[in-house]
A and B are shown apart, each in its own frame.
Chain A
Amino acid sequence: MESLIELGQFILQNLINALQRGSFYAVISIGYSMVYGVLMLFNFAHGDIFMVATYIGFGIATLFLALFAGFLPGPLIFLATVVITMFLASWVGVFVEVAGYRPLRSAPRASAAITGLMIGIIFETGILILLGAKRLSFPPLMESISYNVGGIYFTNVKVMIIVISLLLMLALHTFIQKTKWGMAMRAMSYDFLAVPLMGVSINIIAPLTFAVGAGLAAVAGILYGQAYPILDPYMGVIIGWKAFVAAILGGRGSIKGAALAGYLIGFIEIFVATIFPSTLRDLIAYSIILLILTFRPRGFFGMEHSTKLRL
């Protein structure tokens, strides 16, 4: 009995950790998935857009805390940081689309992938040049309070991360289902060629999609900074690749799938790390992914697209 309760506590404890970690992957992988839905290609720079957004968030948060801490309430500063970071980051997304992907609309997809990777490297190096190699620390935007409910420890930050991520995804869902722009995006993922004929220009939809994806990444970045405050120019590669894997696992262009797969990867990582030595984490996580894709080559919700590279 005793051990059963302990096991329950153990599972619940890790479940919370996994939900938190999965939240980042889910929110970021949606960005990959949305771009795929519209342009039929993965934006390999998305991980680095997330990284840049986190740095922007860091800048805004530091600035606001220095200016207003004391006479403005904490939640207001938090909200202002999120909104302004989202706004700025979405311009980064637009920039990547216009400068990197637009000239390659008719090029083979591999070329676009390479361009994305290269933009990512430019971002990483740019940050290194601007800020140097010193490790910056994201300022806490709210005071962390620990709770202990029935032997399970968690902080208000963790709860906030999980809740905000879920709300964000809900908001995105509404945006895509209800607004004109969201509908155009959905239509684009059904028929790439027909939509421009309906009077919706791909040159508006594509940057918009990049902007929304980058905005999501910005929120993820701020939340990430609350959970893991140390910033690193290569965080986009580390987190981004896994989110990319989640987008694939979820199924090409499926936002629902991407979110679910994001959480799944969070779970795999946390549980593998608690059960096995931490050095085995990547080995086991990627082996599971390899197995899933071998048996479900189209991911969880992938459609039967013809999947040829346009070479």
Chain B
Amino acid sequence: MEIARKFKNTFSNVPMLGWLLGVLAAVLIEYYWGYDYISYYLGLPKIPVLFGTLIMLKDPMMIPGVIGYDLIVYVIPILLIAKASNFFTNPVAAILEKTPLWLSAIIHLIFFYGVLHLWAGINDYRVLVVKLTMISIILTISINVINGYQGEFSCSHPGFMAIGAYISSIITLYFFVNDKTFGAAVLSPDLGPWLFPFALIAGGIGASLGSLLVAVPSFRTRGDYLAIISLAFMFIIKSAIENLNVIGGARGMGGQPDYAPLPIIFIWTMLCIWVVHNFVTSIMGKALNAVRDDEAASESMTVKTRKTKMTAFMFGAFWAGIAGGLFAHVLAYINPGMFSINRLAEILAMVYFGGLNSIIGSIVGAVSINVLGEALRPLELFKWIIIPLILILVMIFRPYGLISFKEINAKKLLRAKHKREQGA
């Protein structure tokens, strides 16, 4: 405890910019010396892809090497650079603080993306993990709108995702790809990447229209009944796609063009965070909480409860549809079986683990469950005992999830951290 406090004290004056710089240094070290020197001398077969967890679990003999690697490449450089650089990162942060918040945020984000790109660029596996994690972030935030902010127990998210995935895939395959199902491309494939956002948005709109089927019954009922209605909706979507042979039926649909590289997914993820954050911190968005906590009181305080519920569902479903579209174009293959109970369990796990009614919680939940899922992969089946156990523990000790009822404060996050005036 004492050490943790000291640690916190030592690093309390490092601004976000400093941490980013530290991570950049770590990534550069890995990039230039990771394979040739550090892994080699530590006896590791190659650069550990996910901080060595995979190697560690496969071969316990590697544990010292992995710990050494993580210390040399990540922990020590990050801490050192972050601390050492604060003589100039703090003044820079202070300058940025004087610019409009959006500009400062964008500069930080570009910096962050650069670091992420470099880190993921080490191999394809990392790229895939990062892509899927970001899609999970969109999914988790979007279900949080319905299950957290609006407080319904909705199980239809895989269905929304499927609608988005299929609609956007159909659009891109029909217009920009020569394939067996839809024949020759209608438009020049060169246009594809530029028009891809419209395909995604079409998928999102499709999903939010579909969500009306769940939203309208929610006017009269909630709780367990809504859980069943939404579950039925999910099965109906899955079953309907299985029976539509035009779009591949149960066999699925493949060959989606690669329109979703890392930067595109990153932009969509940030857009999602930004828009949802704006919404849930506005009075319009807080109406969701009011309706959740007391519907009668909300009506009496002039809140349009039906419109609010419909908004929550359609808005949540829209982003689920976007996530579905990105998902389809990352994997370049989808089938209805992907959007069923297993996906639902995963999405629910992410949102309840991370925390209800909180975007930052959703990000934490999505990243933790994804990274945990990947890191524990060598354990094979045991992974599916460890993750549920962790989730049960979280539910017991923090019933609303790790970080709940808490919003991002970008200003506070990015500001310069000068020495505390009062001796703390």
Binding site for B on A (CB under 8 A): 36, 42, 100, 103-104, 107-115, 117-119, 121-122, 124-126, 128-129, 237, 241, 244-245, 248-249, 252, 279-280, 282-283, 286-287, 289-290, 293-294, 297-299, 307-309, 311
Which of B7-15, B20-28, B186-194, B231-239 contacts its partner?
B231-239
In the complex, chain B residues 235-286 whose Cβ is within 8 Å of any chain A Cβ: 235-236, 238-240, 242-243, 250
Q: Is B128 an interface residue (CB 8 A)?
A: no
**Contact call A114/B349, Cβ cutoff below 8 A:** yes
Complex: A309 Cα to B291 Cα, angstroms: 12
**Contact call B400/A108, Cβ cutoff below 8 A:** yes
**Contact call A118/B388, Cβ cutoff below 8 A:** yes
Complex: A262 Cα to B395 Cα, angstroms: 31
Main secondary structure of the interface of B (DSSP, over half): helix
Complex: A100 Cα to B392 Cα, angstroms: 8
**Contact call A237/B235, Cβ cutoff below 8 A:** no
Complex: A62 Cα to B334 Cα, angstroms: 41
**Contact call A245/B151, Cβ cutoff below 8 A:** no
Sorted nearest first, the 6 A-B pairs with minimum C-beta distance are A118-B388, A107-B399, A283-B239, A297-B221, A125-B384, A307-B223
**Contact call A42/B232, Cβ cutoff below 8 A:** no
Given A122-B389, A298-B225, A311-B292: A104 and B231 interface contact (C-beta under 8 Å): no
Complex: A112 Cα to B293 Cα, angstroms: 19
Given A113-B153, A309-B153, A309-B222: A245 and B228 interface contact (C-beta under 8 Å): yes
Residues of chain B within 8 A (CB-CB) of A122 are 384-385, 388-389
**Contact call B242/A121, Cβ cutoff below 8 A:** no
Size class of B's contact patch?
Answer: 35 or more
Residues of chain B within 8 A (CB-CB) of A119 are 388, 392
Complex: A290 Cα to B222 Cα, angstroms: 14
Residues of chain B within 8 A (CB-CB) of A42 are 224
Give the one of B216, B235, B345, B395 with max A CB within 10 A: B395
Complex: A121 Cα to B232 Cα, angstroms: 21
**Contact call B399/A104, Cβ cutoff below 8 A:** yes
Given A110-B147, A110-B153: A280 and B239 interface contact (C-beta under 8 Å): yes
Residues of chain B within 8 A (CB-CB) of A252 are 224
Q: Is B341 an interface residue (CB 8 A)?
A: yes
Complex: A159 Cα to B2 Cα, angstroms: 71
For B167-198 the 0/1 string (1 means CB < 8 A from A) is 00000000000000000000000000000000
Q: Is B200 an interface residue (CB 8 A)?
A: no
Given A103-B396, A297-B221: A290 and B232 interface contact (C-beta under 8 Å): yes
Would you give 16 A-B contacts (Cβ < 8 Å), ordered by A? A108-B400, A110-B153, A111-B399, A113-B153, A114-B391, A126-B385, A129-B381, A245-B231, A252-B224, A283-B240, A283-B243, A293-B228, A307-B222, A309-B151, A309-B153, A311-B292
**Contact call B345/A290, Cβ cutoff below 8 A:** no
- For the complex formed, measure the closest distance between the CB of A120 and the CB atoms of chain B, giving whole angstroms: 8
**Contact call B217/A294, Cβ cutoff below 8 A:** yes
Complex: A36 Cα to B152 Cα, angstroms: 18
Residues of chain A within 8 A (CB-CB) of B349 are 114, 118
**Contact call B384/A121, Cβ cutoff below 8 A:** yes
Q: Is B420 an interface residue (CB 8 A)?
A: no
Given A111-B400, A119-B388: A294 and B381 interface contact (C-beta under 8 Å): no
**Contact call B391/A241, Cβ cutoff below 8 A:** no
**Contact call B381/A128, Cβ cutoff below 8 A:** yes
Q: Which of B223, B232, B389 is close to A309, meaning CB atoms less than 8 Å apart?
A: B223
Complex: A129 Cα to B383 Cα, angstroms: 11
Kindly report which residue of chain A lies nearest to residue B220, judged by CB atoms: A297
**Contact call B235/A286, Cβ cutoff below 8 A:** yes
Given A113-B153, A114-B349: A107 and B395 interface contact (C-beta under 8 Å): yes
Q: Which of A114, A244, A279 is close to B395, meaning CB atoms less than 8 Å apart?
A: A114
Given A108-B400, A125-B381, A282-B235: A308 and B395 interface contact (C-beta under 8 Å): no
Complex: A41 Cα to B421 Cα, angstroms: 52
Kindly report which residue of chain A lies nearest to residue B240, judged by CB atoms: A283
Residues of chain B within 8 A (CB-CB) of A103 are 396
Complex: A305 Cα to B349 Cα, angstroms: 28
Beyond A104-B395, A294-B216, 16 additional contacts (C-beta under 8 Å) are A36-B224, A104-B396, A110-B352, A112-B395, A115-B396, A125-B388, A129-B381, A129-B382, A248-B227, A279-B239, A289-B232, A290-B232, A290-B236, A293-B232, A309-B151, A309-B222
Q: Which of A107, A248, A290, A294 is close to B224, meaning CB atoms less than 8 Å apart?
A: A248
**Contact call A121/B221, Cβ cutoff below 8 A:** no
Complex: A57 Cα to B9 Cα, angstroms: 60
In the complex, chain B residues 399-424 whose Cβ is within 8 Å of any chain A Cβ: 399-400
Complex: A298 Cα to B226 Cα, angstroms: 11
- For the complex formed, measure the closest distance between the CB of B244 and the CB atoms of chain A, giving whole angstroms: 10
Given A113-B153, A298-B225, A307-B223: A290 and B233 interface contact (C-beta under 8 Å): yes
**Contact call A307/B221, Cβ cutoff below 8 A:** yes
Residues of chain A within 8 A (CB-CB) of B238 are 282
- For the complex formed, measure the closest distance between the CB of A307 and the CB atoms of chain B, giving whole angstroms: 4
Kindly report which residue of chain A lies nearest to residue B241, judged by CB atoms: A283
Complex: A244 Cα to B228 Cα, angstroms: 9
Residues of chain B within 8 A (CB-CB) of A108 are 399-400
**Contact call B151/A248, Cβ cutoff below 8 A:** no
For B204-226 the 0/1 string (1 means CB < 8 A from A) is 00000000010011001111110
- For the complex formed, measure the closest distance between the CB of B359 and the CB atoms of chain A, giving whole angstroms: 17
- For the complex formed, measure the closest distance between the CB of A104 and the CB atoms of chain B, giving whole angstroms: 6
**Contact call A293/B243, Cβ cutoff below 8 A:** no
Complex: A273 Cα to B400 Cα, angstroms: 42
Residues of chain B within 8 A (CB-CB) of A100 are 392
Residues of chain A within 8 A (CB-CB) of B223 are 109, 307-309
Complex: A129 Cα to B389 Cα, angstroms: 16
**Contact call B228/A114, Cβ cutoff below 8 A:** no
- For the complex formed, measure the closest distance between the CB of A277 and the CB atoms of chain B, giving whole angstroms: 8
Given A245-B232, A297-B221, A308-B223: A279 and B243 interface contact (C-beta under 8 Å): yes
